[in-house]
Amino acid sequence: MRMKTAQILMECLLEQGVDTVFGYPGGTILNVYDEFELHGYKNKIRHILTAHEQGASHAADGYARATGKVGVCFATSGPGATNLTTGIATAYYDSSPVVFITCNVSENLIGKDSFQEVDITGISMPITKCNYLVKDPDQLADVLREAFAIARSGRPGPVLVDIAKNVTAAEAEYEPLPLAEHPNHGRLGAMLRRASHDLKTPEPDAGDIQTLLDMIEHAKKPLVLVGGGVIRSRGAVPEFRTFIETLNAPVASTIMGGGACPGNHPLFTGMIGMHGSHASNHASDQCDLLIAIGCRFSDRVATNPATFAPNAKIVHIDIDRAEIDKNVKTDHHIIGDARRVLELLNAKLPPHDYPEWKQWVFSHKEVPLKKDEILHPHEILETIQDVTDGDAIIVTDVGQHQMWCAQYYHFSRPGQFITSGGFGTMGFGLGAAMGAAVGNPGKVVVQCTGDGCFRMNCHELCTAEHYNIPVITVIFNNRTLGMVRQWQNLIYQKRFSQTDLDRGPDFVRLAEAYGIQGERAATQSEFETAFRRAVAAGRPYLIECAIDKDAMVHPMVSAGTPVTDFILD
């Protein structure tokens, strides 16, 4: 059938099972937005209008991470498109599947520095899996189908589709195509095959699997390191838990691996790296076999690659061949999807046990937590854990509060901890929390943020209030850029340059200005009372927590030093 290409775009979204879009309209994308009214797509696809395009990008990302679906974000040309770039990069570094759809100026105006024209495909090329500029109406449907396939396949990630405005006003033939039939569809199938490097996951080599089994058989002190790849791989977590319980060895996690191994599991040693636990960091230093699954060995994990796991044979399991030996030299690797690799290992792995090794690892105790008249960060997280029975989805910004969440909240499932791990995006939290809440109605979603981060995108409170998205915002307010101050305190001889946040706003009154109830808490009992009220309210809520200006994340390893060289215990 023949129809407007703007309508074809909407039909393609429905083919993909899209039920929610986050976005912000503008001149070049108006033909697309008109379809919400003209043909009633507003009754089939929910559109969330955010306060800023960056908020929309983070919301689509949070939705994707919390649901496992592909997130979708709309924006107009020029500044609308460039406002997405931080969100695109955030999704790219954490392998989150989001399709960003922008519309550019008409084809006859491209390249002429036209009003609100920008080469968004050129700008976003390094931070997307793939991107497109659509100039041919007949290609739009298949380009959109391919974009979704690439976003969700292999190592997931963001894809951008930019459409010239004149294309959205044109007409083209549209043939409805169920999602299951896409790989076998003529021209689309050919396009998908051309993109096979993105769409086909290699079957793990049987010899590589056996080599790892042999290495396990000879190991005396193995350590498993789990990263975000296990979270992103569909169905990998049950296989992972079978693997670690059969191996019965200590398990450490990167920040992106939170939820793969339950935080209260007897084998779990905690986070590893710059703010890793004593048990995890010392275990990595003394293990004789390190099995890393779905992690990148970033500089926050392998703080000094040359000295990381110096006594171990390092085995790296990853879907992306480009990650192998990129940061840390390995002794063996297996290329493949985490779920499939673990499935093959579990089929042949006999039960093991390492009682003396585990006893040594878990003998490394953490610093005792303070309990006194003031409110401490761990008390905030412990209270959230207790009140929600550990079932809340925690979304963070970046900084001290992010590390405290990773350390003190016991995540138990994929999608329960949503944070910007790779790109470290301040301002990520509120948008991502809204996306997570929209995708998980009925779940308690808590945005944990710092006063510095919250200022960056607090205008999205109007979005949460308007759509009644029940995000509970908990501000760890230490009146400073906490993590930067911690570095200044420990490394820069207390030269606190430009980190004091001795200014407004009054966060409670700001929330009230947006029609959201706010409270303050200075003790654990005050916070518990306020948080219980927030959960019971079932609507957006804000709690400002007064914490010590010099509260620090314990422990800490300086950048570029071995993970056991703690400068802060």
Q: Single out the residue in 361, 396, 420 at which a domain terminates.
A: 361
**Number of Cβ within a 10 Å radius of residue 99:** 26
pLDDT value of position 192: 65
- Say whether both 265 and 395 belong to one domain: no
**Token pair of 395, please?**
């979304």
- Say whether both 283 and 190 belong to one domain: no
Which is nearest to 161 in space by CA: 141, 186, 134, 184? 134
- Decide if 497 is inside a domain: yes
Q: Give the pLDDT confidence of 76-104 residue by residue, as tens digits.
A: 999 999 999 999 999 999 999 999 999 99
- Decide if 246 is inside a domain: yes
pLDDT value of position 191: 64
- Write out the catalytic residue numbers: 53, 115-116, 165, 483
Q: What is the CATH number of the domain that holds 332?
A: 3.40.50.1220
- Say whether both 335 and 239 belong to one domain: yes
Residues 14/103, Cβ–Cβ less than 8 Å: no
Least confident of 156-165, 187-196, 446-455: 187-196
- Say whether both 108 and 134 belong to one domain: yes
- Say whether both 406 and 308 belong to one domain: no
Q: Single out the residue in 158, 174, 199 at which a domain terminates.
A: 199
How confident is the model over 390-405, as a mean pLDDT? 98
Percent of the chain beyond pLDDT 90?
92
How confident is the model over 409-434, as a mean pLDDT? 97
- Say whether both 234 and 312 belong to one domain: yes
Q: 369 pLDDT band (50/70/90 cuts)?
A: confident
Q: Give the pLDDT confidence of 507-525 residue by residue, as tens digits.
A: 999 999 999 999 999 999 9
Is the pTM higher than 0.85? The answer reads yes
- Say whether both 401 and 508 belong to one domain: yes
3-class DSSP state for residue 257? helix
* In the predicted structure, residue 183 carries a pLDDT above the cut 60: yes
Instruction: Please name the residue ranges forming H helices in 370-523.
Output: 377-387, 400-408, 429-439, 451-457, 461-466, 482-490, 507-513
- Say whether both 253 and 138 belong to one domain: no
Side chain identity, residue 5: T
- Say whether both 234 and 305 belong to one domain: yes
Q: How far apart are CA 220 and CA 358, in angstroms?
A: 11
**Token pair of 60, please?**
């689509």
Q: How many domains does one find in the chain?
A: 3
Q: Give the pLDDT confidence of 312-341 residue by residue, as tens digits.
A: 999 999 999 999 999 999 999 999 999 999
Structure letter (DSSP) for residue 75: E
- Decide if 334 is inside a domain: yes
Question: What's the mean per-residue pLDDT of the chain?
Answer: 95
- Decide if 372 is inside a domain: no
Q: What is the CATH number of the domain that holds 528?
A: 3.40.50.970
* Bond prior to 555 in cis (omega within 30° of 0): yes
* In the predicted structure, residue 196 carries a pLDDT above the cut 60: no
Q: How far apart are CA 246 and CA 210, in angstroms?
A: 16
Side chain identity, residue 134: V
* In the predicted structure, residue 366 carries a pLDDT above the cut 90: no
pLDDT value of position 194: 60
Q: Give the pLDDT confidence of 531-565 residue by residue, as tens digits.
A: 999 999 999 999 999 999 999 999 999 999 999 99
- Say whether both 339 and 435 belong to one domain: no
Which residues are CB-neighbours of 101 under 8 A, at least 6 positions away? 9, 32, 72, 73, 74, 75, 160, 161, 163
Q: How far apart are CA 566 and CA 282, in angstroms?
A: 11
pLDDT value of position 451: 97
- Say whether both 330 and 384 belong to one domain: no
pLDDT value of position 134: 98
Give the domain extent around 240.
206-361
Which is nearest to 266 in space by CA: 283, 284, 251? 251
Q: How far apart are CA 247 and CA 222, in angstroms?
A: 9
Residues 290/284, Cβ–Cβ less than 8 Å: yes
